[in-house]
Structure 1
Amino acid sequence: MSDIPPPPPTPEETHRFPCEQCGADYRFDPDKGTLTCDHCGHTIAMQDEGERIRELDFRAALNDQLPAQEIEETRTASCPNCGASVEFDPATHAVECPFCATPVVADTGANRHIKPRAVLPFSWSERAAHNAMNDWLGRLWFAPSGLKDYARKGRRMQGIYTPYWTYDADTKSSYSGQRGTIYYVTRTVMVDGKPQQRQVQKIRWTPVSGRTARFFDDVLILASRALPKRYTDALQPWDLSHLIPYSPEYLAGFRAEAYTVPLDEGYGEARAIMDRTIERDVRFDIGGDRQQVHRIDTTVSDVTFKHILLPVWLAAYKYRGKTYRFVVNGQTGRVQGERPWSAWKIAFAMILGALVAAGLGYIIAQNQ
C-alpha cells in the first residue's frame, strides 16, 4: 500500500482522560463498563450513541482516496526484538515492550495510519485474566515449578488492543468438474484355491459445471506481527457482534498496537480464506459421493474493510534469561502461550515409566 497523505494538523490522541473530581487519570473498567478513577473512585458511564459501524472502500484506500478524517497520526516505536509497533503518549519516552519485555525508546516521528472504525472493549479484568493464566499454567505438565511461582508473584499484565482488519466482499464463481457416484460390481476371486464372490467399489464420473455465489462478512485478519500467529489464531473465536464504534475512551488505561500488516497484504490473506470457502461451496454444489474440481473462476466485487481493535491481556516473563509470553483473550478469557520444559521432570517421568513397565513385566512373568 502506498503512503497515505498526511491529514490536517490535529491534536495527538493520548488516550488519557483526567478525572472530573481529582484530576488523576480515568481508566476503562471491564467489570463495570465505565471510566473509573483509581485515585478517588469517581466513575463516568460510557455513552452508547448507537452509531452504525461503517465499512470503508478497499479500492479507495489502495488509491489513497480515503477522506482525511479516516486518517490519524500517532507516536509509535518499533521494538528492536519482536518488531511490535507500540503506541506512546507524549509524556512517555521509554517503556518495556509488552510483547517480549524488551526496553523500547520512543522516537520523535509520527505514524500516519487508517483510524480504527470499531473496538471490542475488554470484558475480562486484569485480575480475572491473571487467574485464567495461572490456571492454565497449573495444567501444564513438565513445566518448571519456578516459572509457575514466578508468574504467580502478581506481576501486572498489560492490556493491549491488538489491530485486525476485517474484509467484506461479494463473490460470484463459475466452475467445472466431475461428480463421482459410487457403485458396486460383483467379482469372483480365488481364496485358498476356492472361488468367492466379492463386492468391488467403482466410481462413475459425470462432467458437471455450475455457478455459486457467497457474500463474505467480516473475514478477520490479524494486522500485527508482534506475536506468533499460532497464539493469536488460538485465541479465536471472537464474537464480533459486540463491536462498537471506536471511541478513544475505551482505550483509557490500556495500550494500543499500531498495525504492521499493510491493508493489501491482509486482503491477500482474506482472499485465501475466501477461496477455500468457495471451493467447499463448489464441492457441495457438485454433490455426489466424490468430487473433482477442474476450474473455479471467481469475480469479486464491492470489497470493503475496516480497522478494528480487539482486547488481549498479555504477560511477558523473563525466566532464567529467556522470555516467555502468555496471552489471554480479553473477551472470553481463553489462554495461549509459550512454555518451557523441565528436563528433570521429563527424566523423572521416563524413569518412573520404565520402573512401572519393569514391575508389570515382572508380575506378568511370575503369574505365567
Structure 2
Amino acid sequence: MSDVQAEQRALQCPSCGGQCVYAPEDQALKCESCGTTREIAAPRNTDAAKEVAYDPATATHEVPQIAHNRVHHCETCGGSIVFTGPILSERCAYCDGPVVLGTEDAAYETTAVIPFAVSEVDAQDQAIAWAGRRIAAPGALMGHIIKARVAGLYAPFWTFDSTEAVNYWARVTKGSGKRRRSKRIKGRMTIGFDDLLVPASHHVTPLIRDGILHEFDPTRLRPYLPAYLSGFAAERHHQTVDEGLLSNEPDKDLLIRNRIRRNINASGVSNIGYRTDTTGIRYRRILLPVWILHYEHEGTAYKIVVCGIHGRTFGERPFSRWKVMGLSALLSAATIGFGLLWGALGAL
C-alpha cells in the first residue's frame, strides 16, 4: 500500500467509510457523510514544539523529500498547494486564481502545525463584523463579503531563536540652536530572540502575515499529521534554512535597532550602526492556519484574512467616493465652525 493510499485509508470514516475532514469547531475529524466525529490520535512522546539546532556545516546538505500528495499550481500567482483528503476548490487560496494538477513535489519536512480553531462560519462572521466597522465603506461591501469565496489554508512559517552579541555605535544630539551638541557613542549588549515568526514563502503576503503574526503561542503546536490538514489547502516548505535566515534578517535588523535605541535611552539618536555575533540558532518549520475571503467590488479584487487560531481579522477594502467627500465636507464645516466660535469668544 502506498503512502497516499494509507493516508486516505486513515481518513475514512469507521462507521460508513465516507471521507473525514478536520472540523475546527470539534477539534476532531468529522465524516462528511454521516457526521461521525473521532479524536485525532497524536503520537506519544512527541514534543511538537521541539526546535532543531542550526548547524551551518550540515544545513547545505539537507535534502527535500518527494511528496506524493496532489500538488496544484496556480496559473495566476505561481503558488503550489496540496490538498489532503478531498479537493474542496479549484481556486488558489492565496489569490483565487485557477489551479491545475501538477507533478509530485519536492519539499522539506514540516515539524509541527497549529490546527484551525476557528470554523469557516466563524471566520465569515469575523469578516462581516470587521467590514461593519469600516468608515466610508460602499453600501454594497457587506453583500460582497457575505458572498465572498472562502479558502482555508495552512501557510508555511519559520520560527527562529538566536542569541546576538551586539557591538553598536550611534550619534546622540542634545539641545538646539547654538546649544546644539552632538557626540558619538558606542556600547555592547546581548539580545536573545525567541520564536521570531517568519513567512516561509513569498506568497505569504504582509496582509496574511499580519493576520496570523500576533499572539503566536508555541504551546498550541501539534505534531504534523495529515488528519489536521484534511479538507484544507496547504503550501509545503520549499526554503532551505539559510534562505529562511536570510528572510529573517530585515525583521531582526529592525528589532536590534529598536533595542539599541532603548539601551541608549536618549532622544536625538541617529546614525545607528552595529555588528553582531549570532549564536544558538534554533528553528522550526511549521504550518499556521488562515482563512482568506476573496471578493470583488467594481471589478477590483480584494481579500480579507482571518487568523485560524484566534479570529484576528485584517483586510483590503474599497472606499465610497461620495462618503469620503461627505466626511471631508463635514470636517471642513466643523473646522470653520470651531474657528468662528473661537474668534467670537476671543472678541468678548
Fold shared per TM-score above 0.5: yes
Cα distance, 1:239 vs structure 2: 2.3
Q: 1:345 to 1:301 in 2, by over 3 A?
A: same
Q: 1:166 to 1:61 in 2, by over 3 A?
A: farther
Structure 1 CA distance for aligned equivalents of residues 133 and 204 of structure 2: 22
TM-score, normalization by structure 2: 0.80
1:187 is aligned to: none
1:330 is aligned to: 308
Code of the residue aligned with 2:105 in structure 1: it is N
1:36 is aligned to: 30
1:268 is aligned to: 246
Structure 2 CA distance for aligned equivalents of residues 104 and 45 of structure 1: 32
1:253 correspondence with 2:234: no
Structure 1 CA distance for aligned equivalents of residues 314 and 193 of structure 2: 28
Helix, strand or coil for the counterpart of 2:3? coil
Gaps of 5+ in 2: none
Name whichever structure is richer in strand by fraction.
1
1:224 is aligned to: 201
2:71 paired residue among 61, 70, 76? 76
Cα distance, 1:94 vs structure 2: 7.5
TM-score, normalization by structure 1: 0.76
Cα distance, 1:22 vs structure 2: 0.9
Q: 1:300 to 1:363 in 2, by over 3 A?
A: closer
Q: 1:176 to 1:145 in 2, by over 3 A?
A: closer
Aligned pair count? Answer: 340
Structure 1 CA distance for aligned equivalents of residues 330 and 21 of structure 2: 51
2:98 paired residue among 103, 107, 112? 103
Structure 2 CA distance for aligned equivalents of residues 363 and 291 of structure 1: 42
2:129 paired residue among 135, 157, 166? 135
Structure 2 CA distance for aligned equivalents of residues 284 and 117 of structure 1: 35
Preserved contact between residue 161 and residue 309 of structure 1 (Cα < 8 Å) = yes
Cα distance, 1:30 vs structure 2: 1.6
Preserved contact between residue 85 and residue 231 of structure 2 (Cα < 8 Å) = no
1:6 is aligned to: none
Preserved contact between residue 137 and residue 320 of structure 2 (Cα < 8 Å) = yes
Preserved contact between residue 294 and residue 301 of structure 2 (Cα < 8 Å) = yes
1:161 is aligned to: 154
Structure 2 CA distance for aligned equivalents of residues 83 and 284 of structure 1: 42
Structure 2 CA distance for aligned equivalents of residues 328 and 202 of structure 1: 49
Preserved contact between residue 116 and residue 309 of structure 2 (Cα < 8 Å) = yes
Helix, strand or coil for the counterpart of 1:145? coil
Helix, strand or coil for the counterpart of 1:274? helix
1:212 is aligned to: 189
Cα distance, 1:257 vs structure 2: 1.8
Preserved contact between residue 84 and residue 230 of structure 2 (Cα < 8 Å) = no
2:60 is aligned to: 63
> Which range moves more in the overlay, 94-103 or 171-180?
171-180
Cα distance, 1:364 vs structure 2: 11
Cα distance, 1:133 vs structure 2: 0.4
RMSD: 4.0
Cα distance, 1:101 vs structure 2: 2.2
State the identity as a percent.
28
1:5 is aligned to: none
1:11 is aligned to: 3
1:196 is aligned to: none
Cα distance, 1:104 vs structure 2: 1.3
1:311 correspondence with 2:308: no
Helix, strand or coil for the counterpart of 2:286? strand
Preserved contact between residue 316 and residue 325 of structure 1 (Cα < 8 Å) = yes
